[in-house]
Amino acid sequence: MSEAFFRRRGGAVAPGMVGVLGVLAVCALAWPYTVDDAFIVARYAQNVVLGAGYGMNPDVPSDGITGPLWIVPSLLAVGMHEPLTVAKLVGAACAGLTAWLVVGWAHGRALGHRAAWASAAVLACLPDVGTWSVSGLETGAALLALTALALALLDRSRPRLGLAVVATTALAWLRPELAPCGLVLWLAPFTRSARTTWPWALAGLIGALSVVVWRLAMFGDALPLSARAKPADLAHGAQYVLFAFLLMTSVAGALLAVLGAWQGRRDDRFMLAAIAVHIAAVALAGGDWMPGARLMVPIAGLYALLAGRGVARLSLRSGWLAAAGLALAVVVPLLDLVVRVPELRATAATRDVPAAHLGRGLRDLGKVVAVLDVGYLGYVSRAEIVDLGGLTDPYIARLPGGHIDKRIDEQYLRQRDPDVIVLHSSSPPELNDQKDLLAFSGYPVEHRVAAMPWVRDSFRVLGYVELHESYGYVVLERVTSEAR
């Protein structure tokens, strides 16, 4: 049986390995980079294992992880290995497996050999696939789940509806904004056999809604705190998807994907529609504030499939035209890769030294720390965190304003009674002789906190930690009235 399998799929091995190795090479180059939010997941996992509950602070439940399923790798790693290392390895493995599935699927259809090579090239050249898969977040897992869902539902010869149910459930527990995209993909088997499909679709719906039931039971809210802390900004969302569209496709890749879908089977058009719906969903959700195109990575497998088929279709008319189209499709992603990977590695280096030193120092300075970057500093310090952005704080999350612009009232901050306040600043702060903070370059919520009479009377500047030329932390320490 295995010999027959390799005879059928043998031609896909070479492009499949190119796709896998290309994606894993980017993962390796970006390995030092870990996004700050990944440390939130690691801290939640530590608290769960220690019996301190599902929350940022011990015994204070909060829905601070957008994709609760992603806590599983960190839970398995706590006590045995560094949770972030395991999460990054799982993310890289998911991205590599996705590349193998995409190329194998492309090879198994019309013009398979050409489409397989083109799909492998497109996917390997997308820097966000590798960089975000090893960022410590659930991006690689969401990429694999959505790709598996599409391939399971669009396989006419042998649809795998059981796998589709599992993938649908996983998507809901990883990235809620992927629900509309998944719904479009479920329409494909309905058009072929509604009677056979509906029981499985119902099971998938129940699996997807299970995360909503869990959230309502645990926190009384169907949405994660990130949706409350970062209210949708349509203008920013539109800018984000436009930038991501250009970054991923160079426009030429998008045209190839449309060509591949329109001249392929009807199911290919469902795949194209799913991509379009996801882009719209991300725009309506307000996009993202992190670098690159993180929220677009889950559709990268579908895009690579369609773009590869577009190259193969174009090659029937002209090999040179197909080669030119593929080159244009990958030129912007490759330029982005050359620029971004060194920047991400440099960011990791700043965390390894000055931020690590600050985190360990916070452990000794006080039990309660108010800060906007709650991930790494919270994870290293193990202090009780007052989350100024509301990602892990239900009260602050529901206050007016965006993530960096919350209208925090002074009474609440006094009630939380922080020992230390950490503020961003793009340049060293201005101080007087008594080390009172006169001016700094931070975010709106931080300026409001610094301007509070209680903060001005009760805190002095302990120091400024420079991470790089335009990014640092101003550390304010609580002092007694006698000390002042």
Q: Give residue-wise pLDDT tens across range 331-387.
A: 999 999 999 999 888 887 777 677 777 877 887 776 899 999 999 999 988 899 999
Question: In this prediction, what percent of the chain has a pLDDT beyond 70?
Answer: 95
User: Model confidence over 144-199: pLDDT tens digits?
Assistant: 999 999 999 998 777 889 999 999 999 999 999 999 999 999 999 988 888 889 99
Residue with tokens 């993962």: 27
How far is Cα 398 from Cα 62, in angstroms, rounded to an integer? Answer: 13
pTM of this prediction? Answer: 0.93
Q: Supply the mean pLDDT for the chain.
A: 90
Q: What is the pLDDT of residues 26-40, one digit of tens each?
A: 999 999 999 999 999
Whether residue 243 is predicted with pLDDT greater than 90 in this model: the reply is yes
Sign of the C-alpha dihedral computed for residues 16, 17, 22 and 28 taken in this order: positive
Q: Cβ distance 299 to 201 under 8 Å? A: no
Give the per-residue pLDDT at 5: 33
Residue 483 has pLDDT above 60, yes or no: no
Q: How many CB atoms lie within 10 A of CB 426?
A: 11
The pLDDT tens digits of the residues spanning 104-142 come to: 999 887 778 899 999 999 999 999 999 999 999 999 999
Least-confidence region, from 44-53, 80-89, 181-190, 420-429: 80-89
Dihedral angle, C-alpha 454, 460, 462, 467, nearest 10 °: 60
- Per-residue pLDDT for 9 more than 70? no
For residue 389, is pLDDT > 60?
yes
Q: How far apart are CA 120 and CA 17, in angstroms?
A: 9
* Per-residue confidence band for 484, with pLDDT thresholds at 50, 70 and 90: low
User: Please, which pLDDT band fits residue 420 given cuts at 50, 70 and 90?
Assistant: very high
- SS3 per residue for the chain: CHHHHHHHHHHHHHHHHHHHHHHHHHHHHCCCCCCHHHHHHHHHHHHHHCCCCCCCECCECCCCCCCHHHHHHHHHHCCCCCHHHHHHHHHHHHHHHHHHHHHHHHHCCCCHHHHHHHHHHHHHCCHHHHHHHCCCCCHHHHHHHHHHHHHHHHCCCCCCHHHHHHHHHHHHHHCHHHHHHHHHHHHHHHHHCHHHHHHHHHHHHHHHHHHHHHHHHHHCCCCCHHHHHCCCCHHHHHHHHHHHHHHHHCCHHHHHHHHHHHCCCHHHHHHHHHHHHHHHHHHHCCCCCCCCCHHHHHHHHHHHHHHHHHHHHHHCCCHHHHHHHHHHHHHHHHHHHHHHHHHHHHHHHHHHHHHHHHHHHHHHHCCEEEECCHHHHHHHHCCEEEECCCCCCHHHHCCCCCCCCCCCCHHHHHHHCCCEEEEEECCCCEECCCCCEEECCCCHHHHHHHHCHHHHHHEEEEEEEEEECCEEEEEEEECCCCCC
- Quick check: 250 pLDDT over 80? yes
Which pLDDT value is given to residue 1?
Answer: 30
- Per-residue pLDDT tens over the stretch 72-86: 999 988 766 688 999
**Residue-level pLDDT at 4:** 37
What share of the chain has pLDDT > 90, as a percent? Answer: 71
Contact assessment for residue 258 and residue 210, using Cβ atoms and an 8 Å cutoff: no
Is 95:24 a contact under the CB 8 Å cutoff? Answer: yes
Q: For the chain, give every domain's residue range.
A: 2-345, 346-478
| CB 353 within 8 Å of CB 465 | no
Task: Determine contact, residues 102/5, Cβ cutoff 8 Å.
Answer: no
